[in-house]
């Protein structure tokens, strides 16, 4: 009985260790790529060749890149829209020279009852029209005309009576202090014109920045390609040194211990070449992003000419500085902003002057009720001008 119990206990103690050993062996086989018992798929193998996934480099030149940047740059498209908006705002200010016409029609009817009997009933219909225009001096000419018809019933006889009231007036008001002058009349147009000029300068600034980004990215790519070319030449020299070292070792003039050192130099140069190619690809992507060219698998690399030509710049530092200040769009934008501020100050100062607008009076014409003979009385409003000092 005791030997059987001992065997059962031994089996229970050994089973977990064997299970753990089985799991560990499976994990090691999976890590080595030998086992696929879990049903997982191995990741796809990636090629070490850059052209396999980056694609063949596209040959291009700086003028072609600048042309693509001008056509596809979002900042330039936004600047064109801003200029169109500013020009529309200028045209909007031309409405001050138009005649303003306003018409208003009103109708009203009312009744009064006592114990279900109508004791009063009135109906009124009126039409008024105003035609006005503002002049460059700040004055306003207004033509006003109106007619009103009313029908009321007599509370005793309940007979309706018709009444007409006509009104016609011509008025001209000219401010003498506040609101006077053509400068104030044209303030909105001048402000809109300066905004349009600022939008044009903003577009010029966006174009300069886009060209600067493209040119900077272009020369970064040229520098990266030149570095790769220099590294390849250094790799060729290292390989030539390995050949000479091998021949010297075979002839017994150079010890064999010199060969591993040269091979290490070759490995270092090959690593530098790979890093340089990655840098060229990174600069190509940056240049594509700056010009708006497509970026996708198989369309990443760019190839540009690396022949450098010297450019002679005539002039001293002071002359170049003066030229930069004269052609700077940022400084021109500041000048336009100062001009807009000056206009705002003029408008504000004019608003601090005392008001000198005289009250206008309108001429009216009345007609007696239709029960008697009609009669009209016309009066002309006098033109007045006064100033509050």
Is the predicted pLDDT of residue 39 greater than 60, yes or no? no
298: left (phi over 0), alpha (psi -120 to 50) or beta: left
pLDDT tens readout for residues 338-372: 888 888 888 888 888 887 655 544 444 444 444 33
| Average pLDDT across the chain, whole number | 77
147 bridge partner residues:
127, 166
Pairwise pLDDT comparison (236 vs 156), residue with the higher score: 236
pLDDT tens readout for residues 244-286: 988 888 888 888 888 889 899 999 999 999 999 899 999 999 9
CB 158 within 8 A of CB 113: no
Q: How far is CA 366 from the centre of its chain?
A: 61
d(C-alpha 161, C-alpha 163), whole Å: 7
d(C-alpha 328, C-alpha 310), whole Å: 26
134 bridge partner residues:
140
189 bridge partner residues:
none
d(C-alpha 119, C-alpha 85), whole Å: 63
Q: Classify domain 54-82+185-351 by CATH number.
A: 1.20.1600.10
Using DSSP's 3-state secondary structure scheme, residue 191 falls into helix
For 299, the token pair is 């369309």
CA atoms within 13 A on the CB side of 128: 12
Whole-number pLDDT of residue 339: 87
d(C-alpha 287, C-alpha 188), whole Å: 43
Handedness of CA 133, 137, 138, 143 (dihedral sign): negative
CA atoms within 13 A on the CB side of 109: 0
162 bridge partner residues:
151
Pairwise pLDDT comparison (42 vs 180), residue with the higher score: 180
> Nearest-CA neighbor of 121 among 107, 131, 110?
110
- List CB contacts of 46: < 8 A, sequence separation 6 or more: 53
Q: What is the mean pLDDT of residues 157-172?
A: 84
> Nearest-CA neighbor of 382 among 147, 140, 172?
172
d(C-alpha 6, C-alpha 337), whole Å: 100
d(C-alpha 10, C-alpha 294), whole Å: 70
Q: What is the mean pLDDT of residues 66-87?
A: 86
CA atoms within 13 A on the CB side of 5: 2
Residue with tokens 């045209």: 91
Rounded to 5°, angle at Cα 331 from 328 and 337: 140
Q: Which range is least confidently modeled, 51-55, 254-258, 286-290?
A: 51-55
Angle between helices 187-250 and 329-351 (to 10 degrees): 160
Domains of the chain by residue range:
54-82+185-351
H-assigned helices in the chain: 2-32, 50-54, 62-72, 74-93, 182-185, 187-250, 258-291, 317-326, 329-351
- pTM (two decimals): 0.60
pLDDT tens readout for residues 170-202: 999 888 888 888 888 888 889 999 999 999 988
Is the predicted pLDDT of residue 21 greater than 80, yes or no? no
Whole-number pLDDT of residue 237: 93
The number of residues in the chain equals 389
CB 248 within 8 A of CB 254: yes
């Amino acid at each position: 009985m005791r030997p059987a119990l001992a065997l059962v206990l031994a089996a229970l103690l050994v089973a977990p260790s064997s299970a753990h050993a089985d799991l560990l062996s499976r994990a090691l086989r999976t890590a080595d790529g030998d086992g696929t018992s879990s049903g997982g798929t191995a990741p796809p193998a990636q090629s070490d060749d850059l052209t396999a996934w980056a694609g063949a480099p596209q040959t291009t030149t700086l003028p072609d890149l600048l042309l693509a940047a001008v056509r596809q740059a979002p900042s330039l498209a936004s600047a064109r829209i801003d200029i169109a908006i500013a020009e529309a705002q200028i045209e909007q200010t031309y409405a001050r020279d138009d005649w303003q016409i306003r018409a208003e029609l009103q109708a009203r009817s009312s009744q009064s009852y006592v114990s279900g009997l109508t004791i009063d009933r009135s109906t009124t219909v009126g039409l008024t029209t105003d035609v006005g225009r503002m002049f460059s001096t700040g004055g306003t000419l207004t033509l006003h005309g109106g007619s009103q018809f009313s029908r009321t019933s007599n509370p005793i006889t309940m007979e309706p009576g018709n009444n007409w009231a006509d009104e016609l007036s011509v008025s001209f008001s000219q401010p003498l202090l506040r609101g006077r002058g053509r400068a104030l009349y044209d303030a909105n147009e001048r402000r809109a014109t300066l905004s349009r000029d600022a939008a044009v300068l903003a577009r010029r600034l966006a174009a300069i920045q886009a060209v600067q980004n493209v040119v900077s990215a272009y020369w970064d790519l040229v520098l990266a390609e030149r570095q790769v070319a220099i590294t390849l030449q250094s790799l060729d020299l290292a390989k030539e040194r390995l050949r000479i070292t091998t021949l010297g070792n075979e002839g017994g003039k150079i010890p064999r211990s010199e060969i591993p050192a040269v091979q290490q130099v070759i490995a270092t140069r090959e690593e530098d070449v790979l890093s340089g190619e990655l840098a060229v690809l990174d600069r190509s992507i940056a240049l594509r992003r700056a010009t708006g060219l497509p970026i996708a698998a198989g369309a990443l690399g760019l190839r540009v000419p690396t022949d450098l030509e010297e450019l002679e710049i005539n002039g001293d530092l002071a002359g170049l500085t003066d030229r930069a200040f004269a052609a700077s769009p940022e400084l021109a934008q500041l000048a336009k902003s100062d001009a807009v501020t000056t206009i705002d100050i003029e408008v504000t100062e004019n608003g601090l002057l005392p008001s000198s607008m005289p009250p206008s009076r309108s001429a009216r014409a009345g007609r007696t009720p239709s029960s008697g003979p009609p009669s009209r009385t016309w009066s002309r409003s006098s033109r007045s001008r006064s100033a509050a000092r």
